[in-house]
Amino acid sequence: MLRLKENILETAEYGSCIFFLKRNIFYTLFSLFKFVHFYQMSGLPNLGNTCYINSILQCLRYQRHFVKLLKKYNSEKDSKFHQHFIDLMFDGHTEQSIKDFVFHLSKENQEFKLFKQCDAHELFLFLIDHFYEYHDMHNPFKGTIESKIFCDCGYESLSKQDFISLSVNVKESIDEMLDDYQRVEEIDIKCKCSKTLKKQMTIINRPSIMVVHLKRFTSSNRKIDTEILLDETRSYKMTAICNHSGQTQGGHYTAAVLRGHGGWWMCNDIHTQELAQLPEKSYLPYILFFEKYKRKFSDIK
């Protein structure tokens, strides 16, 4: 009888060990699944020339100064268009979400109707302008430039205007592009003193998110394929790149985004892939997204 009890206890202990072992394996696999699900990032399907939409949405999704404003925002009273736009800023959306967004986008603006090849920068401007037209909240993309028209005789005229992106000439580095944007240039207007007037644009209020649009497409329908250095600029770090491959008559948009854990990912419609690192130079960047550092640097002059 004593031996029988010992066998029963041994069997019970063995069964208990198997149970706890199975449970631990289950929780380990479940945790691993959650980690992989978090670590992976979701792509967006191409519904017919919608790569320009996908690339801009991916770039915007990783602008934390913008997305954090939307986390606690209740969009129930918003239009369907803005509801779908906000939903797509977060993981967990379905394929139907992007389909609904594209449908309502074409209703809001016929320029972006389905199957039409459109410009990613024009879409960015429309999305941000349209969103803040209906939402009274902080706009992290908004900065201010001062335009000065002056003459050597002493004449001077100042005006200010807000911007959400800077369109710059293509140079080798970001700093060169920003310096070129703010250089003094002569304009084809004469002062009362008969001298040629000069003009200078100066960034006087820099946004939390600075968007730089490279003027790669010329008025003669030619694309400038100059390589640029993918480096940071004074007081800003790069967080996303909207790329364009191809020429003016046809091409493809992709995005490279910096995730919170510090790694860069390539987004090519539905396909996403982690990058070991960004190349030092590239001819693909069309729109660059920068986030202002928390620590202070000297202003861009």
What integer pLDDT is reported at residue 234 of this predicted model? Answer: 82
Q: What are phi and psi of 58, to 5 degrees?
A: -65, -40
Domain contains 126: yes
Token pair, residue 266, equals 């390539």
What CA–CA distance (Å, rounded) separates 176 from 180?
6
Q: SS3 sequence, 13-32?
A: HHHHHHHHHHHHHHHHHHHH
Does the pLDDT of residue 108 top 90, yes or no? yes
Torsion of CA 48, 51, 54, 58, to 10 degrees: 160
In a domain, 202, yes or no: no
Confidence of residue 200 (pLDDT cuts 50, 70, 90): very high
Query: Within a domain: residue 172?
Result: no
Handedness of CA 281, 256, 176, 224 (dihedral sign): positive
Would you say residue 190 has pLDDT above 90?
yes
Q: 250-297 pLDDT, tens per residue? A: 799 999 999 977 699 999 999 999 999 999 999 999 999 999 987 544
Q: Give how many domains the chain has, as a whole number.
A: 1
pTM strictly above 0.95: no
CA angle 169, 239, 93 (to 5 degrees): 120
Burial of residue 292 (number of CB atoms within 10 Å: 0-12, 13-18, 19+)? middle
- Residue 40: per-residue pLDDT: 57
pLDDT for the residue numbered 63: 97
DSSP string, 217-246: B-TTS-B----EE---BTTEEEEEEEEEEE
Q: Which residue has the tokens 């004593």?
A: 2
Contact call for residues 131 and 140 (beta carbons, < 8 A): no
Cα–Cα distance between 217 and 247 in angstroms, integer? 9
Looking at the predicted structure, is the pLDDT value of residue 24 above 70?
no
Q: Is residue 82 part of a domain?
A: yes
Crossing angle (nearest 10°) for helices 120-134 and 80-87: 120
124 inside domain? yes
Q: Which residue has the higher pLDDT, 156 or 15?
A: 156
pLDDT (0 to 100) of residue 114: 85
Per-residue pLDDT of 135-188, as tens digits, reads: 999 999 999 999 999 999 999 999 999 999 999 999 999 999 999 999 999 999
Domain that holds residue 126: 51-134
Has residue 248 been placed in a domain? no
Residue 102 token pair: 């594209």
The reply to whether 125 falls in a domain is: yes
Do the beta carbons of residue 190 and residue 196 sit within 8 Å?
yes
- Asked if residue 165 belongs to a domain, the reply is no
Task: Please compute the mean of the pLDDT values over residues 207-232 and round it to a whole number.
Answer: 94
Give the mean model confidence (pLDDT) for residues 10-36: 38
Q: Is the pLDDT of residue 104 over 60?
A: yes
